[in-house]
Amino acid sequence: MPMSDDFKKRLLPDLADIAAHFGTPFHIYDEAGIFDTGRTLKKAFAPIDGFMEYFAVKALPNPDIMAIMNEMGFGFDCSSIPELVLSRRLGVTGEKIIFTSNNTTDEDFKVAFSDGGCILNLDDISLISRLPSIPDLICFRYNPGPRRTGNDIIGNPVEAKYGVSHDQIVEAYRKMAELGSTRFGLHTMLASNELNYSYIVETTRMLLELIQWIEKELHIKFEFINIGGGMGIPYRPEEAPLDLAQMSKEIIALFAAFRSENGHVPKLFMESGRYMTGPHGVLVTRAINRKDIYRNYIGVDACMSALMRPGMYGAYHHIDVLGKDPANWPTQKVDVVGSLCENIDKFAVQRELPEIEADDILIIQDTGAHGHAMGFNYNAKLRPQELLLRQDGSVERIRREETMADYFATLNFEKKVFCK
Ligand SMILES: *Cc1c(COP(=O)(O)O)cnc(C)c1O
């Protein structure tokens, strides 16, 4: 179930006009859908005191989208300096921001500590000695190694570069407690696009067991656990959505059990990106060429600079052709392609679609997370604009398309020369 019926109802009647007004290609995001998902998430975890979603900024780093998250009371999960700056520009600071860097630089630390700070989530025990000062509140990212199996996108934890190993985790908190930290959190991130909710329940169980152990070892108390992101969305029509209601029910039960055993309970944090915005965006592109050789190709005016997932992961994104319902339109098996000189620049491979003519509008779905954000400039391809369909039905341009001037901006500078 890619694009929801509600999103279709809000967008499709005006889509031809929107495309004519702004020009194609563009990603367009559905404000009402994002609010719906946010409200559902909050309601599901309301029984846990201090539940907090920190939107993973990398999924859709646009200030107008982040403002929606802020309005819902969510914080931000950042992993680079520009992401920190984006969040702070919205007036969000301090413990509403988690900084989960890896391969961290001194400059990263400097910015993390400045401008109202953030919750620091350290990726390694060796980083303790590099801290510019000792924060009162500290979190570590845990890597369970062989204790857990990862999923396809994130991979096997043993091979993952992230996090503190099991053997080092107690020592990491011991050191920080000795140095003066008094407040503690524990984080992990093991899954990506996981549709099986049990995996995320097991991650929660693992973290609760771990803090119980560390609390006993070190006589400290944990303020929160952060189960990371990774909640999946169904990209294919035949896939079932993640069972959020059952997932939250089981996690709430784990928290209740923890409370009765330990007399206190941590807060629950998560940092979903894809789940929050993924289904609420589509890439709208126009067919410009068709080509019939060994296969039939539909060339569109977007390319993988707008959406990397199909080329990078072989990911499926559902495609509809505006005004042509495959149920009552002749179909044909085609590859939908961009213009990059890379044969992986395909939005769909051997896909049965309604017969497409030049100027038809294609709706490539579920591009609201890790879509525009992942785009790149290889082959000097420029990234498209982003639009926001507001709840009142108006449409705003929230990022313009890149221009040639943007492309040349990094080439216009005073040459710096080293001479011997
Ligand atoms: C990418 C990332 C997320 C968000 O992942 P989703 O799959 O979009 O939910 C959250 N936390 C960290 C540390 C990440 O790297």
Beta strands 281-292 and 26-30 are antiparallel
Beta-bridge partner residues of 364: 283, 319
Residue 1 lies in a domain: no
CA pair distance 173, 213, nearest whole angstrom: 12
Please tell me whether residues 145 and 222 are part of one structural domain: yes
Q: How many other C-beta atoms lie within 10 A of the C-beta of residue 46?
A: 11
Pocket probe for ligand 1: among 55, 65, 100, the residue whose CB has the most ligand atoms within 8 Å is 100
Please tell me whether residues 265 and 336 are part of one structural domain: no
What confidence tens digit (pLDDT) does each residue in 72-128 have?
999 999 999 999 999 999 999 999 999 999 999 999 999 999 999 999 999 999 999
Residue nearest (by alpha carbon) to ligand 1 atom 3: 229
Confidence band of 154 (pLDDT split at 50, 70, 90): low
Residue nearest (by alpha carbon) to ligand 1 atom 5: 229
Please tell me whether residues 257 and 326 are part of one structural domain: no
Position 152 scores a pLDDT of 58
* Domain end among 277, 311, 333: 277
Alpha carbon 204 to chain centroid distance?
20
Confidence band of 150 (pLDDT split at 50, 70, 90): low
What number of residues does the chain have? 420
* Domain end among 277, 293, 321: 277
Residue 11 lies in a domain: no
Whichever domain contains 125, its CATH number is: 3.20.20.10
Residue 418 lies in a domain: no
Please tell me whether residues 305 and 168 are part of one structural domain: no
Q: Is 341 a catalytic residue?
A: yes
Angle, in degrees to the nearest 10, between helices 244-262 and 31-45: 30
Kindly list the distances between the CA atom of residue 177 and the CA atoms of 135, 171, 244, 309, in Å, as whole numbers in the listed order. Answer: 10, 10, 36, 42
Residue 19 lies in a domain: no
Higher pLDDT, 384 or 412: 384
**Number of the ligand 1 atom closest to the C-alpha atom of 191:** 7
Please tell me whether residues 114 and 225 are part of one structural domain: yes
**How far apart, in Å, do the first and last CA atoms of the chain sit?**
63
What average pLDDT does this structure show over 350-367?
98
Confidence band of 40 (pLDDT split at 50, 70, 90): very high
pLDDT above 60 for 153: no
| SS3 assignment, position 115 | coil
What confidence tens digit (pLDDT) does each residue in 234-284 have?
999 999 999 999 999 999 999 999 999 999 999 999 999 999 999 999 999
Distance from the alpha carbon of residue 75 to the mean position of ligand 1, in angstroms: 14
For a pLDDT cut of 70, what percent of the chain falls above it? Answer: 98
- Residues 308/383, Cβ–Cβ less than 8 Å: no
Q: In the numeric block, which tokens belong to residue 153?
A: 């996108």
Please tell me whether residues 273 and 284 are part of one structural domain: no
Position 45 scores a pLDDT of 98
- Residues 35/391, Cβ–Cβ less than 8 Å: yes
Whichever domain contains 373, its CATH number is: 2.40.37.10
- Residues 99/81, Cβ–Cβ less than 8 Å: no
Please tell me whether residues 226 and 316 are part of one structural domain: no
Q: What pTM does this model have?
A: 0.96
Pocket probe for ligand 1: among 53, 55, 57, 58, the residue whose CB has the most ligand atoms within 8 Å is 58
Position 373 scores a pLDDT of 97
Please tell me whether residues 220 and 352 are part of one structural domain: no
Position 61 scores a pLDDT of 98
Residue 54 lies in a domain: yes
Of 109-118, 328-337, 356-365, 408-417, give the lowest mean pLDDT range.
Answer: 408-417
Nearest to 304 by CA among 334, 349, 277, 339: 339
Higher pLDDT, 365 or 157: 365
Position 415 scores a pLDDT of 86
Distance from the alpha carbon of residue 143 to the mean position of ligand 1, in angstroms: 15
DSSP H/E element including 200: helix 197-218
Residue 104 lies in a domain: yes
What confidence tens digit (pLDDT) does each residue in 201-237 have?
999 999 999 999 999 999 999 999 999 999 999 999 9
Confidence band of 387 (pLDDT split at 50, 70, 90): very high
Residue 205 lies in a domain: yes
Query: What is the extent of the structural domain holding 139?
Result: 31-277
Please tell me whether residues 104 and 198 are part of one structural domain: yes
CA pair distance 24, 364, nearest whole angstrom: 13
Q: Is 37 in the pocket of ligand 1 (CB under 6 A)?
A: no
Please tell me whether residues 297 and 269 are part of one structural domain: no
Number of structural domains found in the chain: 2
Of 18-22, 99-103, 246-250, 363-367, give the lowest mean pLDDT range.
Answer: 99-103
Q: In the numeric block, which tokens belong to residue 162?
A: 């992230």
Position 146 scores a pLDDT of 86
* Domain end among 277, 297, 326: 277
Please tell me whether residues 193 and 311 are part of one structural domain: no
Please tell me whether residues 180 and 228 are part of one structural domain: yes
Q: How does DSSP classify residue 364?
A: E
Residue 404 lies in a domain: yes
Average pLDDT, whole number, for the chain? 96
Residue nearest (by alpha carbon) to ligand 1 atom 10: 229
Nearest to 398 by CA among 65, 32, 60: 65
Position 155 scores a pLDDT of 67
| SS3 assignment, position 138 | strand
**Number of the ligand 1 atom closest to the C-alpha atom of 370:** 8
pLDDT above 70 for 410: yes
Distance from the alpha carbon of residue 319 to the mean position of ligand 1, in angstroms: 25
